[in-house]
C-alpha cells in the first residue's frame, strides 16, 4: 500500500489515543468503517418474532409462557443454566440460559460448543385477531436466524403446554361399556 500523501489523524478526545493512519481515497476510511459497523449491527442486533395464540385466553397463554421458559426442551443441547424471571404485572418473562453440546461429525474431531441466551417474552393482545400475542426477542447481539430458531422452539414448547387443554376439549367423552 502506497502511503505517500497519507495524513495522520489524532483524536482530540483522549491524549493517550494512538494516531490512525488513513490513506486518501482508501476504501477503509472512518466513514466506511462506521457504515460497515452499522450494517453489521443491524444484521445481528436484537431480533424478535411474534406469534398469536387464537382460541386461548390470556391466563392460559401466560401459564404456557412461564412453563416453556422454566422447562425448555432441546434435542441437541444440554441446558446448563436456566434462570427465569416472570413478572405477571407487566406480562414479561425474562430468560437467561446457558447451553452446551458436543458437536460430532464423521470427518472432524468432536467440537465443544456453548451458547448464552438472554430473551424476553412479552404477552400482549393482537387487536386485529382479538387473541393473545407473544413477542419473543433477544436482549443481545445475535445472528437473526439463531434467534428465530430459539423463538420457534419456545413457541413449540408453549404450544405443547397449551395442547392438553385443546385435545381434552376436542375429544368426545369416553363411552361406558
Per-range mean pLDDT, top range of 29-33, 60-64, 140-144, 172-176: 60-64
Cell 367423552, residue located: 173
Give how many domains the chain has, as a whole number. Answer: 2
**How many other CB atoms sit within 10 Å of the CB of residue 47?**
19
Distance CA 86, CA 71 (A): 13
Considering the domain architecture, whether residues 79 and 159 belong to the same structural domain is answered as yes
Evaluate whether residue 76 is within a structural domain: yes
**Domain contains 12:** yes
**Which residues, in sequence order, are CB contacts of 176 under 8 Å at separation 6+?**
none
Verify that 155 and 122 share a domain, yes or no.
yes
* Whole-number average pLDDT of the chain: 78
pLDDT at residue 140, rounded to an integer: 86
pLDDT band at 114 (very low <50, low <70, confident <90, very high): very high
Per the domain annotation, does 37 fall within a domain? yes
Instruction: Clarify whether residues 32 and 64 are in a common domain.
Output: no
Radius of gyration of the CA atoms of the chain, in A: 25
- Smallest CA-to-CA distance from 76 within 45, 103, 49, 36 is with 103
pLDDT, residue 85, reads 97
Is position 109 within any domain? yes
Instruction: Say how far apart CA 63 and CA 71 lie, in whole Å.
Output: 12
- Do residues 92 and 129 both lie within one domain? yes
Q: Indicate whether 67 and 36 sit together in one domain.
A: no
56 and 127 assigned to the same domain: yes
CA distance 173 to 177: 12
> Are the C-beta atoms of 121 and 154 separated by less than 8 Å?
yes
Task: Report the candidate in 54, 69, 50 with the shortest Cα–Cα distance to residue 161.
Answer: 69
174: pLDDT strictly greater than 70: no
Q: Examine residue 104 and state whether it is found in any structural domain, yes or no.
A: yes
Q: What's the pLDDT tens digit per position in 88-107? A: 999 999 999 999 999 999 99
Buried-state track 132-156, b at ≥16 Cβ within 10 A, e below 16: bbbebbbeeebebeebbebbebbbe
Q: What is the pLDDT of residues 47-103, one digit of tens each?
A: 889 999 999 999 999 999 999 999 999 999 999 999 999 999 999 999 999 999 999
19 and 68 assigned to the same domain:
no
Q: Which residue segment(s) compose the domain that 29 sits in?
A: 7-44
Amino acid at each position: 500500500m502506497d502511503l505517500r500523501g497519507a495524513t495522520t489523524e489524532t483524536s482530540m478526545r483522549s491524549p493517550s489515543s494512538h494516531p490512525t493512519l488513513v490513506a486518501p481515497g482508501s476504501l477503509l476510511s472512518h466513514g466506511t468503517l462506521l457504515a460497515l459497523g452499522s450494517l453489521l449491527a443491524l444484521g445481528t442486533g436484537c431480533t424478535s418474532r411474534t406469534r398469536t395464540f387464537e382460541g386461548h385466553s390470556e391466563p392460559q397463554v401466560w401459564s404456557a409462557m412461564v412453563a416453556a421458559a422454566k422447562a425448555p426442551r432441546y434435542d441437541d443441547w444440554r441446558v446448563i443454566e436456566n434462570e427465569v424471571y416472570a413478572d405477571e404485572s407487566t406480562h414479561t418473562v425474562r430468560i437467561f440460559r446457558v447451553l452446551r453440546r458436543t458437536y460430532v461429525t464423521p470427518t472432524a474431531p468432536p467440537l465443544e460448543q456453548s451458547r448464552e441466551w438472554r430473551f424476553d417474552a412479552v404477552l400482549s393482545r393482537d387487536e386485529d385477531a382479538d387473541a393473545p400475542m407473544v413477542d419473543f426477542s433477544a436482549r443481545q447481539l445475535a445472528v437473526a436466524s439463531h434467534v428465530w430458531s430459539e423463538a420457534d422452539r419456545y413457541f413449540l414448547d408453549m404450544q405443547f403446554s397449551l395442547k392438553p387443554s385443546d385435545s381434552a376439549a376436542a375429544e368426545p367423552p369416553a363411552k361406558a361399556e
